[in-house]
Structure 1
Amino acid sequence: MSSLDPVILFFLLGLVAGLLRSELKLPGALYDSLSIFLLLAIGLKGGQGLATQPLAPLLPQVAAAVALGVVQTLLAFGALRWLFGFDRPDAAATAAHYGSVSVATYAVATAWLAARAIDVEPQMAVLLAVMEVPAILVGIMLARGIDRRTDWAALSHEAFLGKGVTLLLGGMAIGWAAGPDGLQPISPLFVDLFKGVLALFLLEMGLIVSRQVGELRRRGLALVVFGVAMPLLSAPLGAATGVALGLSVGGTTVLATLAASASYIAVPAAMRIAVPQANPALSLAGALGVTFPFNLLVGIPLYHRLAVALVGS
């Protein structure tokens, strides 16, 4: 790349401003609105693509995405517990973050590929939604096992009907029902403005990441090493899964990126309910303070090169 993507520069602006303790701050309501917009826009785009193809062939891909999320959570838990010395609740909660996915990282990856005219299968938005859930359930079981006190109704509601999953699946349902022609009247909002909204969202993400520095200092090198090593382990698993499913270079890149990402929306909300004894600052410091910027600045181009090597140009 001859220059950084503008959306990544917005992220760096927020990060530097936060580290320098600038007075820059976005209203909390605006951040929530930007999140809703991005989730709906991603869902609509995926649903629009799904309207043009049969749904039955997606079932093996959904099953593979679920299996990928489960395997990643177990690998992360083992590494955190026995290599990095985390206690069981913190290891399970952090592993759930890394077994799940980041919508913002997905949005940046798809925008990065679109800028280079690299096509991506429309069902990747479905896999994005599917991969939110398995890690939450596995993380809960790793943290405390299954017993009669487990409130599965509350946990299932949080996992399957949380804001992120609801907006993604709802957007896909609307896009699928309306089809490409039906979405034309709203495409100026949800398509043309997508990258500008993503830039504002990443500006706020940079500010949020700057606030995780304190936790990174307290935990030391272990969290930084894990936050970089885990995506480098997960991305090849995602890429290999993409190849096995017959995805294109773009689809394989996105699946590798999803595998390498870590959740910071759906999983923290579920873990607060299910594993209250875990330290949420620890998980967010790794996911937001290390893995998110690593994927934005280094990971996505690296995962694309891996996809080209495996699939071919």
Structure 2
Amino acid sequence: MQNLLDPAILFFVFGVLAGLVRSNLEIPAAVSRFLSLYLLMALGLKGGFALAHSGFSAEVLHSLFCAVLLALAVPALGYLVLRRFLKPFDALAVASTYGSVSAVTFITAVAYLERNGLPYGGHMAAAMALMESPAIVLAVLMANHVRQGQAAGSVQFNGGGTASLSAGGWGGQGRAPGNRIGHLLHESFTDGAQLLLLGAMVVGLVSGDAGKAAMQPFSGDLFKGMLAFFMLDMGLNAARQLPQLRGQSPWVLLYAVLGPFTHAFMGLGLACLAGLPAGDAGLLMVLAGSASYIAVPAVLRYAVPEANQALYFGLSLGLTFPLNVLLGVPFYMQVAHAVLG
């Protein structure tokens, strides 16, 4: 209940309500982009400062290894489940969306830990960055595999039309498949948001305590207000995506609700095996249980045009994101601290 009374969460709820009543309240796209970049930069600095204080250790390496393992296992297992009741391209798109991570959900979890005075490792921001790209890579590889398995070279698109594709083709993109794949993989690994996060972490690591004191007004004092403003925008966007969920299969909606919790408990299991502390384990659960609504959908739109964008984007932002922000984050943290102390 305490989490629901946090100003950032209340602004998110307010944004959802404003969106549902079709208010003309709107955050300009440029402002929303600035807020997201600010939050990533501040988070990277916080992680770098913490890492400079604690140093590298076996615990850090174990956390990063668990993160990468989850980033590979979650989309692969998700695809095996989803292909039973979705078309192949839709199944791999949803699986990769849920196999990646939500930076805003992670930031909300960090704010929860700080608000409750619970310790965590700053290196978990690096774990978040490592978990974003593997799902994109797997989506591209699985999409090519599905295309090669298509019979006769005619694919039925979700929009109702057909398009002639040779094995491994790209729907008339006009570029060689290999070049297109390389371009998409390059974009996924050099995404500006990821680079900003990692760059800020390096700055924090190098500057140490002196940098922390100098940047406190920016990365500390402003953080909660900026987060609340951004959560208002997220609430408005989530409300806009809810209509996309009408008419979807109950099994798909069930996956969007139960999948994140299943993935989170996979993260908890790995955290227990690796001997991670409770704060890091909770953040690993949050990362495993989150779903991307920015990076992965942006790539899938071009890499897998056969998939229904309204499906994977609507599920991640319209259903899973609110569920995690309102209920998932406090639940994951409480479970992690109950199990690992």
Question: Shorter-chain TM-score: which interval?
Answer: over 0.9
Q: 2:313 aligns to what? A: 284
Alpha-carbon distance in structure 1 between the residues aligned to 2:217 and 2:337 = 32
**2:252 corresponds to 1:251:** no
What CA distance in whole angstroms lies between the structure 2 residues aligned with 1:288 and 1:220? 17
Task: Output one character per residue of 1:70-123: Cα deviation in whole Å (capped at 9) or x when no partner.
Answer: 1100121122111xx211111111111101110000011111111110011111
Cα distance in 1 for residues equivalent to 2:243 and 2:250: 13
- The Cα shift of 1:60 comes to 3.6
SS at match of 1:139: helix
Name the CA shift for 1:183/1:201 in 2 (closer, same or farther; >3 Å): same
- Say whether the 8 Å CA contact 1:113–1:250 is kept in structure 2: yes
Amino acid at match of 1:105: T
What's 2:91 paired with? 91
Give the number of aligned pairs: 310
Structural RMSD (CA): 1.7
With normalisation by structure 2, the TM-score equals 0.87
Contact persistence 2:48–2:204 (CA under 8 A): yes
1:163 and 1:266 in contact (8 A); partners too: no
Which runs of structure 2 are paired with 1:63-78 in the superposition (5 Å)? 63-78=65-80
| Other-structure match for 2:8 | 7
Q: Does 1:265 align with 2:294?
A: yes
Gaps of 5+ in 1: none
Instruction: Determine helix, strand or coil for the equivalent of 1:218.
Output: coil
Q: Please tell me whether Structure 1 or Structure 2 has the larger radius of gyration of its CA atoms.
A: 2
Q: Distance in 1 between matches of 2:279 and 2:57?
A: 21
Instruction: Please list every run of at least 4 consecutive aligned residues from structure 1 whose deviation after the TM superposition is greater than 4 angstroms.
Output: none
* Alignment partners' CA distance in 2, 1:252 and 1:63: 13
Contact 2:140 2:181 in 1 (8 A): no
2:67 and 2:130 in contact (8 A); partners too: yes
- Measured in 2, the distance between the counterparts of 1:29 and 1:60 equals 38
- Distance of 2:92 and 2:140 partners within structure 1: 7
Q: Which moved more, 1:57-66 or 1:39-48?
A: 57-66
SS, match of residue 177 in structure 2: coil
Distance 1:7 1:179 in 2: 28
TM-score (norm 1): 0.94
Q: Deviations over 1:28-68 (max 9, x none)?
A: 11100001001111111111122234436333432221111
CA contact (8 A) 2:45 2:201 kept: yes
Structure 1 window deviating more from structure 2 (119-128 vs 146-155): it is 146-155
